[in-house]
Amino acid sequence: MHPSIHAASQPEAIAIRMAGSGETMTYAALEARSNQVAHMLRAQGLRRGDTIVLWLDNCPDFFAICWGAQRSGLVYVAMSTKLGAEEAAYIVADSGAKAVFAGARFAGLAAALPATGGQYAVGGDIPGWTSFEAALAAQPTTRIADESPGRDMLYSSGTTGRSKGVRGPLPEGPIDGPDALLGLVGALYEFKAGMIYLSPAPLYHAAPLRYTMSVHRFGGEVIVMEKFDPEHYLALVERHRATHSQLVPTMFVKMLKLPEAVRTRYDVSSLACAIHAAAPCPVDVKHAMLDWWGDVVFEYYSATEGAGFTAISPQEWRAHPGSVGKSLLGEIRVLGDDDRVLGPGETGRIYFAGGPGFTYHNDPDKTASVTGTHGATFGDIGHVDADGYLYLTDRASYMIISGGVNVYPQEAENVLTMHPAVADVAVFGVPHEELGETVKAVVQPRDPAAAGPELEAELIAFARARLSHIKCPTSVDFMDELPRHDTGKLYKRLLKDRYWA
């Protein structure tokens, strides 16, 4: 399956629809434009295995460039639009990019990028760069003669340090050959021709990019939100009768905290499958979503590295609340501090054995640090129950050791998230003279005017009524906005550094 096949069988079907502007691209147009991209890259001298970088906001040409690279045997790097000039320059250099496609709004930062063989300005002008539109117009819409399958190389979001490119082997065979993710999502979530997939997240992140491109392989329509807004999301589901979507828990929380009259205004009954991942979902939040949307909320656990994959249906989750499911890719092994494999119910580091291989680009030491005889780890802590269901406790790097006791901040975060005054929250360890570390919460209040000692005391009491006191914050600070990735991941390192400096 491949969009080129659907371009032949249903050329006028919508492949891409932008939620805000309403701009659309048919499968015929996507085929023609991706062919032009492929010709342009070949004319520039790029060959199989070479790398390109995209620095773009969500737009139809994001897909045209990715599919053009995919059919040219190239490695395409989708770069975060939140990066500064130095971070972006690092990724362009580290990836070995031979071409960069940047949105015109990055013109002020583009000068800091290292020179590559081709620099293309998309959607406007960047001084000294080639117009993407003009370069494309000179190319034919026919297929290149030497098509071969390419793949992405996505950089980790850098929540614990400088981001690293996750590189897997280039696929062999034809461009429409079988794909592991395609088989999984097709079976689990019933992807098929005619589906309407609503994508609310930035396309530069692994899951949104890979899932939307999988929809194109099946011949469905992808509706792309330029930016997530909770009420607009609900309105789009109703307006377009969306059948599938993928979200993150922070999006659930924002929708649940809409006024009741707003939440119930929209008909979401068309949704057959709402998939979530990327960050732990508090149990109370998941219960609330199932009660609202019904048994259409599916969950999986994986990472950009792709070395393992678990999944759980809504029915299974009701029987195993808090679980992220059973493994469908890689054997789960939970290891203790002595690298001994632990039994059911014992908490330790989570590894996947026998899954697909990967490397961190240009960083063999980093690769070696997360791989070994027991497979690969994403850096998470958890346990497996007697039925084989995996439960996540927290990231290993977030663990707090207070007075010799291990404290996992995710529990306190899950509790405080549900407080009506909290818009967002991060919990982590800060230095303490006697205990080594103590638990700190940093809260983004829904009403900034409410921040202060009274709300601090209320939140601490709220947590202590629901958790052991050792797991609860001893103090609360307030911020206007927490440093959170658009995909829901929290840059907790940036917060911790302020207290540990």
Going by C-alpha positions, the residue among 398, 405, 392 that lies closest to residue 348 is 392
Residue 278 in this model has a pLDDT that exceeds 60: yes
Please state the CATH superfamily assignment of the domain spanning residues 400-500 in this structure. ANL, C-terminal domain (3.30.300.30)
List b or e across 334-352, with b for residues whose CB sees 16 or more CB atoms inside 10 angstroms: bbeeeeeeeeeeebbbbbb
Q: Give the three-class secondary structure for 218.
A: helix
- pLDDT surpassing 90 at residue 497: no
Q: pLDDT tens digits for 285-308?
A: 999 999 999 999 999 998 878 788
- Cα-Cα-Cα-Cα dihedral sign, residues 487, 492, 493, 495: positive
pLDDT single digits (tens) 248-269: 888 999 999 999 999 999 999 9
Q: CA dihedral in degrees (119, 121, 126, 127; nearest 10)? A: 40
Q: Are 211 and 178 in contact (CB under 8 A)?
A: no
Q: Alpha carbon 486 to chain centroid distance?
A: 8
Q: Per CATH, which fold does 328-398 belong to?
A: Luciferase; domain 3 (2.30.38)
pLDDT at position 157? 62
Query: How many Å apart are CA 108 and CA 286, to the nearest integer?
Result: 42
Burial (CB count <10 Å: 0-12, 13-18, 19+), residue 142: exposed
Angle at 226 between CA 225 and CA 232, to 5 degrees: 50
Question: Distance of CA 247 to CAs 208, 437, 488, Å?
Answer: 9, 34, 9
Q: Name the strand (E) or helix (H) holding 366.
A: helix 364-370
Q: What is the pTM of this model?
A: 0.85
Span(s) in the chain for CATH 3.40.50.980: 3-214
pLDDT of residue 160: 46
Taking each continuous run of H as one helix and of E as one strand, the counts in the chain are 17, 29
Mean pLDDT, the chain, as a whole number? 92
CB 51 within 8 A of CB 95: yes
Q: CATH 3.30.300.30 residue ranges in the chain?
A: 400-500
CATH assignment, 3-214 = 3.40.50.980
Contact (Cβ atoms closer than 8 angstroms) between residue 91 and residue 114: no
- H-helix or E-strand spanning residue 417: helix 410-417
123-127, 185-189, 305-309: range with highest mean pLDDT: 123-127
Domain with CATH 2.30.38.10 in the chain: 328-398
Question: The tokens of 256 are what?
Answer: 């649940």
